[in-house]
Amino acid sequence: MTEALLKQLVEAVEAHYAADGAPPLLASRFGHHNKGLLNDLKGAYGGLLAAVKAAGEERLRIVDERHGREVIAPANRAADVGVEVQQQSATAEAAASSFDSLPKSVQIAFCVRTEAGEQVTLRVTPPFDYKRVKAGDLVRPGFRPVQDEFRKPGLALGSATLQDKQTLWQNLLAWARQEQLDPATFRPNRRDGNALARFLAVQPSDIIDRIVIPADIAEILLRRS
């Protein structure tokens, strides 16, 4: 009985990779198309990964053992799938790093929770800031709406996974394309420009219009890089 289950497991994994362009098979997604088999494997082996190990490395391999990101592959595809997993991981890390480099207000705009009838708007020039406004209200000058289709409302940045941040970065890129904005706009190099520009760039948007800088101080800041 158990060998018959393992044979079904091997066949299910091989069937996944038989499809053109099949992505690495995450253990967490195996049950999406094999719910009954997964339940049987849990009953016989206690879990899917234990069943994969019981099948033996000559038939199945776990090519990525990161908790929650385990990937299963046939033994004869393990090397190629492993390379693909590494490439995907590198891409995700780069995207997450790009998102982490954004000003915190920009990051929050793409995951802040809203109440019914609210929308998020983002100021697209320094100093960057986000506002939650009533849907239908006029958007402040310099701000653009960030539609929920580009956001992950309620996501806690402190506990966001690599994949969460990759998705957020991709969402920002898609939103920027829609708004005809350069994503690099939101990743300013603080060494660029003069000291006055850098000073103004870090001030909250609600006080920027009230800041008064004496002429002699402004002249000094303008000369400093």
Sequence ranges of the domains in the chain: 2-98, 101-186, 189-225
Whether the Cβ atoms of residue 9 and residue 51 lie closer than 8 Å to each other: yes
Q: Which two tokens stand for residue 32?
A: 């999406």
Task: Estimate to the nearest angstrom the gap between the alpha carbon of 165 and the chain centroid.
Answer: 3
* Band of pLDDT at residue 25, cut at 50, 70 and 90: very high
Q: The tokens 């400093």 sit on which residue? A: 224
* Band of pLDDT at residue 203, cut at 50, 70 and 90: low
* Reported CATH class of domain 2-98: mainly alpha
- Specify the pLDDT at position 138: 86
d(CA 25, CA 23): 6
- Specify the pLDDT at position 213: 65
- Specify the pLDDT at position 192: 46
Which stretch of DSSP H or E encloses residue 66?
none
Mean pLDDT of 75-103: 91
Mean pLDDT of 7-20: 95
* Band of pLDDT at residue 171, cut at 50, 70 and 90: very high
- Specify the pLDDT at position 88: 85
- Specify the pLDDT at position 139: 86
- Positive or negative, the Cα torsion across 92, 13, 62, 5? positive
Mean pLDDT of 69-77: 95
Give tens-digit pLDDT for 104-114.
999 999 999 99
- Specify the pLDDT at position 108: 96
